[in-house]
Amino acid sequence: MNIVIVGGTGDLGFGLGYRWAKAGHQIVIGSRQKERAMEAAGRINEMTGTQNAKGLANEDAVLEGDIVVLAVPDAARAAVLELIKPLVQGKTVVDVTIPLRFNPLRYEAPEEGSNAQQTQAVLGEGVKVVAAFHTVSAAMLENPEKEVKGDALIMGSDEEAKNTLIGLADDIGLRGFDAGSLLNARTVEGLTPMIIGMNKRYKRGHIGIALTGI
């Protein structure tokens, strides 16, 4: 399965790309600069001992797969959505972004209810938006010494797309769960300020969440 990661040179995108490439998936790292994408893909290939990753400019990368992960900072999101909108119709777009605000650190949802719902509104009904991986630490994914642990709450309206992402979470050692529709994305996106605060208080970099009784 070809998985495209827009912003795959960054922490979370790189970490997901590394883990998926290690699990045998074909990864296309996207960047504003093709050279940066190629460099990140080269590092993934070196770390995994495979040739499973390649790098392209974002707009070329999104043409290469049916699953497109949007792994850019919240401030870059609007412009990136406009760039990819005509290129991702009919595809699955995985929104991992979180609208964080600072001083004090907090979650501030857009008027659509969450970033994922706004992404769906901007890209239109022709795109299957899935919200995922908000509570999964990039520091854990990127570090080959760390075992991947934790639960991934996956949300979306397209059952097939959601199940694909649950499988992709399982493939890298997480436990993927169906957490319902995008209406729940606000709840899960909103956990991040708490997790960042706990990482500071407990002097950790990779706190995640785990469900019980399931």
Ligand X SMILES: NC(=O)c1ccc[n+]([C@@H]2O[C@H](COP(=O)([O-])OP(=O)(O)OC[C@H]3O[C@@H](n4cnc5c(N)ncnc54)[C@H](OP(=O)(O)O)[C@@H]3O)[C@@H](O)[C@H]2O)c1
Which H, E and C letters describe 165-200, residue by residue? HHHHHHHCCCEEEECCCHHHHHHHHCCHHHHHHHHH
Choices 9-17, 43-51, 84-92, 158-166 (CB under 6 A): range interacting with ligand X: 9-17
Each residue 11-50 as x (binds ligand X by CB under 6 A) or -, in order, gives xxx-----------------xxx--x--------------
Query: How does DSSP assign 28-56, residue by residue?
Result: EEEESSHHHHHHHHHHHHHHHTS--EEEE
Residue of 196, 199, 148 whose CA lies nearest to 175:
148
By CB under 6 A, name the one of 41, 98, 161, 172 that touches ligand X.
98
Decide if residue 126 touches ligand X (CB under 6 A). Answer: no
C-alpha neighbours within 13 Å on the C-beta side of residue 7: 23
How many residues belong to the site for ligand X (CB under 6 A)?
25
Residue located via tokens 């870059």: 76
Decide if residue 190 touches ligand X (CB under 6 A). Answer: no
Q: Are 155 and 131 in contact (CB under 8 A)?
A: yes
* Choice between 36 and 85, CB closer to ligand X: 36
Closest approach of ligand X to the CB of residue 32, in Å: 3
Interacting residues with ligand X (CB under 6 A): 7, 9-13, 31-33, 36, 71-74, 76, 79-80, 96-98, 133-134, 136-138
